[in-house]
């Protein structure tokens, strides 16, 4: 197989993985939608911090933009600039994670952990799984920056970065729906 065909196959294979990940999130969304009313006298979706979630949405959107900008530099073969933009992406992503962890911490401190009600179980599972994906993505970005520094823009590295780009945008897309279904819907109903 030519390296081009190999890169295309790798990209498609990764896309198929993203589709399976999407189905997993769909199941978590379905579970959340079914269990969101099971609040057992504890906090309801309306008690969640909508402003904080809005901030998280903007931060993740910004990181998605910087990731795309990094890929433009990759295509223009400007490794140094690509590294800079990936660094920005990492910063925004870490900011998002920090905001999310602080929300979890305040819920846990108030005694509202995942074991307290069906709603909280579903909430922590859905949002927590997304957060876990973000954490892995951050690790991937960090490793990619090192790879770029050490090996430069080889075909292999570019192929990896393309998949990272897809992964990161995918996480932003899932968050859009978490924001809508968990936070917005929570304050609407």
Partner 1 sequence: MKSTTTTSIALGFFASLILTLLSYGAVVKHWFSGTALVSAILAFAVVELVVQLYFFFDLGDGASRRWKLGAFAFTLGSVLIVIVGSVWIMSHLNYNMMASPDLMNTYIQSQQGF
Assess 162 for contact with partner 1 (CB under 8 A): yes
CB of 136 to partner 1, least distance (A): 19
Residue list 61-80, contact with partner 1 (CB under 8 A): 61, 64-65, 68-69, 71-72, 75
Binding-site residue total for partner 1 (CB under 8 A)? Answer: 43
d(CA 172, CA 30): 19
Q: Which is nearest to 123 in space by CA: 35, 54, 53?
A: 35
Q: Segment contacting partner 1 (CB under 8 A): 79-87, 114-122, 142-150, 168-176?
A: 168-176
Cβ nearer to partner 1, comparing 113 with 166: 166
Query: With b meaning 16 or more CB within 10 Å and e meaning fewer, what string describes 18-29?
Result: beebeeebeebb
Binding mask 117-146 for partner 1 (x = CB under 8 A): ------------------------------
Q: Which is nearest to 180 in space by CA: 67, 29, 19, 38?
A: 29
DSSP 8-state symbol, 184: I
Tokens, residue 94: 């870490």
d(CA 137, CA 153): 20
Q: Segment contacting partner 1 (CB under 8 A): 10-18, 91-99, 119-127, 148-156?
A: 10-18
CB of 169 to partner 1, least distance (A): 5
Could you count the other beta carbons within 10 Å of the beta carbon of residue 150? Answer: 8
DSSP 8-state symbol, 48: S
Assess 39 for contact with partner 1 (CB under 8 A): no
Assess 89 for contact with partner 1 (CB under 8 A): no
CB of 75 to partner 1, least distance (A): 7
């Amino acid at each position: 197989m030519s390296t081009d065909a190999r890169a295309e196959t790798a990209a498609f294979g990764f896309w198929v993985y993203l589709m399976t990940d999407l189905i997993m999130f769909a199941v978590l969304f379905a579970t959340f939608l079914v269990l969101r009313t099971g609040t057992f006298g504890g906090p309801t979706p309306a008690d969640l911090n909508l402003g904080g979630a809005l901030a998280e949405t903007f931060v993740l959107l910004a990181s998605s933009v910087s990731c795309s900008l990094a890929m433009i530099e990759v295509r223009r073969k400007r490794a140094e600039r690509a590294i800079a933009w990936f660094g920005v992406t990492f910063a925004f992503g870490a900011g998002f994670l920090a905001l999310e962890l602080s929300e979890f911490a305040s819920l846990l401190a108030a005694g509202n952990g995942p074991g307290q009600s069906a709603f909280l179980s579903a909430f922590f599972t859905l949002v927590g799984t997304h957060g876990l994906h973000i954490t892995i993505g951050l690790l991937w970005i960090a490793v990619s920056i090192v790879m770029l520094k050490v090996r430069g823009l080889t075909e292999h590295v570019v192929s990896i970065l393309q998949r990272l780009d897809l992964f990161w945008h995918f996480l932003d897309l899932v968050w859009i729906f978490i924001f809508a279904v968990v936070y917005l819907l929570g304050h609407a109903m």
